[in-house]
């Protein structure tokens, strides 16, 4: 019997890397050795993974020797530099950054949708999608298979953890500064004054606020996050001409991205038919009984793997359109879980026994 494959986790001490280690402890054990790698400031730290304390090693070319799959959760520029090095040392790279997502020679994989793309990796790299895209696309794909998707109009409600630990820390500091003042939020500028310059990675306060911006400035006033949702949805679904318009909004939620979706299809749709398609779809939980106060919310989805879907209704003025609401844990399916699933697909011929 062939030995179990070796996995390297690059960025093991980050928010997503930590969740990935938790997932590896809970999922079927297909890995032999697991190597945790990170930047110099994290070398020597202990991280619990698969029930044992593993020591974080240095990110060096030699660290990839003998590695079968290397998963990366690091900034774009770090991935762009180190992923090819890992490939040269013999590893298949699964990258969670945006460095390779739109490279035509790099597949962008969601295992519930296009698992066959894992085997078409001329650069030895497989990309993981943006967390907002992943939250939404798992629910959209079964509806596309049923009705033929033509257009998406989206509004996201993105948690602060999407900006990393700095985003989470900033929100908690801001909430601490305004806690107990029940007048704040009722007068112009008072929240800004209370928070001051302590904005963290955001352009405005998030406590008692929503900020209609996520990412950096792209062309024609769009944000980079909005362009990611458009471009990645097209690539994952294999629909290069799909019409997509997205508005990304940052909200004062720690974990759990949500997306309000208006989807237009090629044929007439039926709300109950859509519910049935989603009820049977992998990676989806249907929560859709507004009369009973049951709808998908981040506070329920956090810590779980599926995308939670509800508020499904046919558009009033278009029999080909559906409106729905999707939410999911952006650190799990939105990042770590999808990465783990892809890595497992890569080694599946060696672990089917």
330 is in an annotated binding site: yes
- Crossing angle between the packed helical segments 224-237 and 131-147, to the nearest 10 degrees: 40
DSSP secondary structure letters along 214-250:
-S-B-GGG-BHHHHHHHHHHHHHHT-TT-EEEEEEEE
Nearest-10 Cα torsion for 62, 65, 67, 69: 60
13 is in an annotated binding site: yes
Q: Tell me which of 21, 49, 131, 248 is the catalytic residue.
A: 131
Cβ atoms of residues 73 and 20 within 8 Å: yes
28 is in an annotated binding site: no
Q: Is 10 left (phi over 0), alpha (psi -120 to 50) or beta?
A: beta
101 is in an annotated binding site: yes
Q: Which two tokens stand for residue 40?
A: 């110099």
Q: Tell me which of 21, 144, 248, 257 is the catalytic residue.
A: 257
132 is in an annotated binding site: no
42 is in an annotated binding site: yes
124 is in an annotated binding site: no
Residue 131 designated active-site: yes
Question: If we measure between CA atoms, which residue out of 348, 341, 154, 135 comes closest to residue 255?
Answer: 135
Q: What is the distance between the alpha carbons of residues 55 and 253, in angstroms, rounded to a whole number?
A: 32
DSSP secondary structure letters along 122-172:
TTSEEEPPPHHHHHHHHHHHHHHHHH-EEEEEEEEEE-GGGG-HHHHHHHH
Residue 257 designated active-site: yes
186 is in an annotated binding site: no
41 is in an annotated binding site: yes
Q: How far is CA 246 from CA 127, 136, 252, 257, 311, in A?
A: 21, 12, 19, 14, 19
Residue 309's beta-bridge partner residues? 286, 326
Q: What is the distance between the alpha carbons of residues 327 and 210, in angstroms, rounded to a whole number?
A: 17
**Beta sheet of 257-265, edge-to-edge order:** 243-250, 149-158, 257-265, 321-328, 307-314, 284-286
341 is in an annotated binding site: no
40 is in an annotated binding site: no
162 is in an annotated binding site: yes
Q: Which two tokens stand for residue 325?
A: 């609401």
Residues contacting residue 35 through CB under 8 Å, at least 6 positions apart:
6, 7, 8, 9, 57, 63, 67
Annotated binding site for NADP(+): 13-16, 41-42, 161-162, 330
Annotated binding site for phosphate: 101
> Which residues are catalytic, by number?
131, 257
Annotated binding site: 13-16, 41-42, 101, 158, 161-162, 250, 330
Annotated binding site for substrate: 158, 250
């Amino acid at each position: 019997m062939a030995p179990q494959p070796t996995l390297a986790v690059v960025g093991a001490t980050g928010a997503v890397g930590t969740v990935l280690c938790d997932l590896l402890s809970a999922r079927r054990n297909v890995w032999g050795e697991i190597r945790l790698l990170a930047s110099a400031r994290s070398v020597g730290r202990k991280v619990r993974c698969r029930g044992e304390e593993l020591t974080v090693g240095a990110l060096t070319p030699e660290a990839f020797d003998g590695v079968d799959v290397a998963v990366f959760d690091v900034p774009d520029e770090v991935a762009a530099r180190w992923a090819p090095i890992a490939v040269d040392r013999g590893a298949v790279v699964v990258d969670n950054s945006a460095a390779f997502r739109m490279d035509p020679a790099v597949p962008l994989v969601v295992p519930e949708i296009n698992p066959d793309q894992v085997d078409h990796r001329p650069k030895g790299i497989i990309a993981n999608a943006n967390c907002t895209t992943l939250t939404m696309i798992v629910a959209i794909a079964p509806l596309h298979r049923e009705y033929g998707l033509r257009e998406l109009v989206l509004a996201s409600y993105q948690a602060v953890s999407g900006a990393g630990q700095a985003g989470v820390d900033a929100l908690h500091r801001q909430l601490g500064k305004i806690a107990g003042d029940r007048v704040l939020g009722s007068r112009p500028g008072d929240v800004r004054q209370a928070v001051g310059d302590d904005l963290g990675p955001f352009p405005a306060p998030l406590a008692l606020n929503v900020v209609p911006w996520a990412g950096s400035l792209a062309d024609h006033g769009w944000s980079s996050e909005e362009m990611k949702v458009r471009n990645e949805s097209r690539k994952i679904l294999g629909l290069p001409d799909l019409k997509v318009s997205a508005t990304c909004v940052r909200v004062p939620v720690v974990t759990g991205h949500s997306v309000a979706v208006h989807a237009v299809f090629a044929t007439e749709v039926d709300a109950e038919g859509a519910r049935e398609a989603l009820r049977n779809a992998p990676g989806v939980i249907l929560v859709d009984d507004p009369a009973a106060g049951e709808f998908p919310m981040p506070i329920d989805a956090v810590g779980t793997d599926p995308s939670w879907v509800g508020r499904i209704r046919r558009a009033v003025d278009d029999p080909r359109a559906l409106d729905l609401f999707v939410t999911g844990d952006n650190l799990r399916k939105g990042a770590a879980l999808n990465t783990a699933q892809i890595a497992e697909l890569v080694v599946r011929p060696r672990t089917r026994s």
